[in-house]
Amino acid sequence: MPQQINNFIDGQWIPSRSRSPLPSVNPATEELLAHAWNSDAQDVDVAVLAAQAAYNSWRLMPAPRRGEILFQVAHLLTERKQEISRLMTSEMGKVLTEAQGDVQEAIDMAYYMAGEGRRLMGYTAPVEMPNKFGMALRDSVGVVGLITPWNFPIAVPSWKMLPALIAGNTVIWKPGEDVPATAAAFVKVFEDAGLPAGVLNLVTGAGDTGAALVDHPGVRVISFTGSTTTGLGVYTRAAKLGKKVTLEMGGKNAIIVMDDANLSLAVDAINWSAFGTTGQRCTACSRLIVQRGIKPRLVEALVEKARSLKLGYGLEPDVEVGPLVNQRALDKVAGYMDVARDEGVRVLVGGGRPANMDKGFFFEPTLFDGVLAGMRVEQEEIFGPVLSIVEVESLDEAIQVSNSVPYGLSSSIFTENVNAAFRAMRDLTTGIVYINHGTTGAEIQFPFGGTRGTGNGMREAGQAGLDTYTEWKSVYVDFSGRLQRAQIDTGDALDQD
Ligand code: ADP
pLDDT number for residue 496: 47
Answer yes or no: do 192 and 278 share one domain.
no
pLDDT digits (tens, 9 = 90+) for 146-174: 999 999 999 999 999 999 999 999 999 99
pLDDT of 450 higher than 50: yes
Q: What is the CATH number of the domain that holds 107?
A: 3.40.605.10
DSSP 8-state assignment for residue 432: E
Same domain for 38 and 86? yes
Ligand 1 pocket, residues with Cβ under 6 angstroms: 147-150, 174, 176-177, 206-207, 210-211, 214, 226-227, 230, 233-234
Same domain, 290 and 151: no
194 and 97 in one domain?
yes
**Which residues, other chains included, contact 170 with Cβ-Cβ below 8 Å and sequence gap of 6+?**
51, 52, 54, 55, 58, 142, 143, 144, 198, 199, 200, 201
Q: Within a domain: residue 493?
A: no
Backbone angles phi, psi at 461, to 5 degrees: 70, 170
Residue of 147, 156, 182 to mutate, ligand 1, most atoms within 8 A of C-beta: 147
User: 278 is in which domain, residue-wise?
Assistant: 253-435
Residue 130: pLDDT band with limits 50, 70, 90: very high
- Which whole number is the average pLDDT over 184-198? 98
Q: Tell me: do 411 and 271 sit in the same domain.
A: yes
- Asked if 248 is an active-site residue, the reply is yes
Atom of ligand 1 nearest to the CA of 230: 6
The mean per-residue pLDDT over the stretch 275-281 comes to: 96
Say yes or no: 374 and 402 in one domain. yes
pLDDT value of residue 485: 78
Same domain, 173 and 225: yes
Instruction: Report yes or no: 174 and 204 within 8 Å, Cβ to Cβ.
Output: yes
For residues 465-479, give the mean pLDDT: 97
Task: Specify whether 241 is located in the same domain as 263.
Answer: no
**Residue 455 DSSP label:** B
Residue 439 one-letter amino acid: T
CA distance 79 to 137: 35
For residues 64 and 180, state if they share a domain. Answer: yes
CA of 423 relative to ligand 1 center, distance in Å? 37
Query: Is the model's pLDDT at 493 over the cut of 70?
Result: no
Regarding whether 127 and 23 lie in a shared domain, the answer is yes
Residue 427's CATH number: 3.40.309.10
- Quick one: 127 and 207 in the same domain? yes
The predicted model gives 356-383 an average pLDDT of: 97
DSSP state string for 384-412: SSEEEEEEESSHHHHHHHHH-SSEESEEE
Q: Number of structural domains, the chain?
A: 2
